[in-house]
Amino acid sequence: MDVQASASDLNVFVDADRSDQYFLNAQKVLKAENLNPTVTMEVFPNDPGLLCGMQEVLKHLAQALSHSTQVWALPEGSEMASKEVVLRIKGAYCTFGQFETSLLGTLSHESGWATAARKCVEASSGIPIISFGARHVHPAYRTKWSMRRSWVVVRVVRHPPGHDSQIEKRQEQCLTP
């Protein structure tokens, strides 16, 4: 699944207004002290799941970071173990510190939907399922990126006759992100 990052998408990703204030404060202090230390940031999940959103994050980072910044990541669609490093960035702090909020939000949102979708598929025990996920997302988030990661594990299938009651029973087992 190829993700194309447009200029407007990049602007949203790197917009300082989308950073937690303490990251911006840290950069101001470092600049005032004429410091820009080389640091390593590691991103990891608290819970196991399915890693999604990494393609989008990497495309934005490739456009926004200097060539001297090193980036390592698990591939899109990888299984994530609790506390397993899924993304590592090493470079001058002021070149990427302000992106932490955006990249964590992207990975958390996309991985959460994909992991929940997979749990629904597993709970269905082979019964075809259909997701009307847009009904459960705030309208502001219904962009071209919204919930596309659920398609890593869920595909719309034709609803076989006679499965209505079984699907309704299985709905209770599906977890929401």
pLDDT in tens, the chain (177 residues): 344 444 455 455 555 566 667 777 888 888 889 988 999 999 999 999 999 999 989 998 988 888 889 999 999 989 999 999 999 999 998 888 888 888 998 899 889 888 888 888 888 888 877 766 666 666 666 554 445 544 444 433 334 444 444 444 443 344 444
Residue 79 within a domain? yes
How far apart are alpha carbons 162 and 168 in whole angstroms? Answer: 12
Residue 1 within a domain? no
CB 49 within 8 A of CB 71: no
Give the pLDDT of residue 166: 44
Give the pLDDT of residue 169: 40
Residue 2 within a domain? no
Instruction: Give the pTM.
Output: 0.71
Give the pLDDT of residue 139: 66
Residue 176 within a domain? no
Residue 177 within a domain? no
Give the pLDDT of residue 13: 57
- φ, ψ of residue 98 to 5 degrees: the values are -70, -10
Q: Could you give the 3-state DSSP secondary structure of residue 40?
A: strand
Residue 148 within a domain? yes
Task: Give the total residue count for the chain.
Answer: 177
Give the pLDDT of residue 140: 63
Q: Could you give the 3-state DSSP secondary structure of residue 90?
A: strand
Give the pLDDT of residue 19: 66
Q: Could you give the 3-state DSSP secondary structure of residue 131?
A: coil
Give the pLDDT of residue 155: 39
CB 114 within 8 A of CB 49: yes
Give the pLDDT of residue 167: 41
Those residues with Cβ within 8 angstroms of residue 95's Cβ, 6 or more apart along the chain or in another chain: 36, 65, 66, 69
The pair of three-digit structure tokens given for residue 89, joined into one six-digit string: 């960035």
Residue 66 within a domain? yes
Residue 38 within a domain? yes
Short-list 134, 59, 135, CA closest to 99 = 59
* Angle value at C-alpha 14, between 78 and 66, nearest 5 degrees: 80
| CATH number of the domain to which 93 belongs | 3.90.1170.20
Give the pLDDT of residue 108: 93
Indicate the burial class of 117 (C-beta count within 10 angstroms; 0-12, 13-18, 19 or more): buried
Find where tokens 């009904």 sit.
135
Domain that holds residue 139: 7-171
The total of structural domains in the chain comes to 1
